[in-house]
Amino acid sequence: MPRSAEVVVVGSINVDQVVTTDRLPLPGETLIGTSMTLLPGGKGANQAVAAARRGAATTMVGAVGDDVHAEAALPLLVASGVDVGRVGVAAGPTGLAVVTVGSDSENTIVVVPGANASVDEEAVARHSEVVSGAAVVVLQGEIPVSGIERAARLATGRLVLNLAPVVAVSAEVVRLADPLVLNEHEGRLLLEMIAPDAAGRLAGRESSDSSTGASSSDASSAGADTADAAVVAELRALGTASVVLTRGAAGALVSDASGSWSVPSPRVRAVDSSGAGDAFVGALSAALASGSSLLEAAQEAVRVGAYSVTTAGTQPSYPGLDDDLPGTDEQVTAIEVTA
């Protein structure tokens, strides 16, 4: 069918209120902060910005509140070329993340969903035409489950399901993902939630590897590779067409019907890793929309994610097509994933 947009992101839009202090306050204690900054955020908005900056015609479906914070939530989406005509206005506050950062880089975060809580099944259904017409639909876990599941079922193009955070979606919706994108911790949490037998097998395998020394300090990297490949195998065994397991500085594991690979990440000097996962997902989605294979898209996405950590902030750190992405001398390697 004709596609009305290359990438449609259905997800959260937040404002991040970042307060820096010399140290984190104790319970009941009042401290004087050293700075306060309002920054655009939310996993949905971050991924939409990342996709648009990598050249995809991108539409955002979500909501902001009718408060003053809405003005701070949207400018980078608009400046990046994202179509925000499907962003509604809900009575009440815009989604807000209150972040306190100490001088030792430790932080506390409190997220108030605000208008994001209105992006439910009914709200998504109002945009069924644009969702069903997308080449790639991108979802995360920061809107109501009913909204996630409705968007997943409306999608006729490729569904990129990034369950971050892990929320209680049905196994049926997980099986619609192509790919399912999770980090290693989220992968285990999802298995515990919808496939306890698989989670038990995984735990038993990891316990056995530990007892035989497979995860000792002199083989920790190989042990982690094996453990993460096992997570991918169990996720594929759920009936999911493809899985991408993100691993931070270690890159990503990619598995679909054509094979499974370990994709290394470039080595860079990290300044701020916040939002790197969203940069990866947005870039992956843009590459898939352009016709790249999943492996090719992941190779692009790890470079975009690495680029993003070299600059402070989330959305402002995402590269455009004219920016030089870091490269790596390491090669993609085929891996075996067996449940």
Active site residues: 278
Angle at which helices 196-211 and 220-237 pack, to 10 degrees?
Answer: 160
Residue 60: φ, ψ to 5°: -105, 130
- Tokens 């009914």 locate to 122
* 317 DSSP assignment: G
Backbone Cα Rg of the chain: 20
- Tokens 């401290």 locate to 31
Asked if residues 116 and 60 have their Cβ atoms less than 8 Å apart, the reply is: no
- Give 134-169 as a DSSP string: EEEEEE-SSS-HHHHHHHHHH--SEEEEE-SS----
Q: What is the rounded (10 degree) CA torsion for 282, 284, 286, 288?
A: -150
